[in-house]
Structure 1
Amino acid sequence: MSQPPRRPRTLNDARTEAEAAFKKVTTKPVETPALKRQTLPGIKEMVSLRIDQDVLEHFQSDGPGWQDRINAALRKASGL
């Protein structure tokens, strides 16, 4: 069983195929909206935060636990 002769490519076909291949590799995939992460109580995440020196000194002046006090103040200010 022989295959029918292949039709020679025309310049238009090659260009269309090249454009489709280029588009396929350069197009960003559609991102689905990220699901809201559920927070577990007591789990803390390390972050880097820039705050004014006087604010930092205020929280550190009462000694150890200053990071927890900042967390509590932020929680209160955000209404959580």
Structure 2
Amino acid sequence: MRRPKIKSQTDWERVKRESGADAPIAWEPEDGPYDPNDEAAVEAYWKAATIVRRPGQRGPQKAPTKERITIRLSHDIVEHFRSTGGGWQTRMDEALREWMKGRRKKAAK
């Protein structure tokens, strides 16, 4: 199911105007851990940062095991797999793998 498009609430004209100003960002020590106007402080802060993932959130694959492709399939096939719920693409991959194994066995005979 696709998510509905949400209209941005960002005032992009203001962002464009203010980004061109190149003015320093107002900052007080109680505002945060580093002065955003000090490039060295910003770099040091983010260099020391660690990535924390939520439970169940996956990280990047060390070695991708699957390939992203674009494929056209019959509507009824896609709907069948989608109707099985989350993970339908994995189940489709498994079904194709089973079909492939069957073809290899026939070819070996």
TM-score bin, normalised by smaller chain: 0.3 to 0.5
| Rg (Cα) greater in structure | 1
**TM-score scaled by structure 1?**
0.46
Higher RCO (CA < 8 A, seq sep 6+)? 1
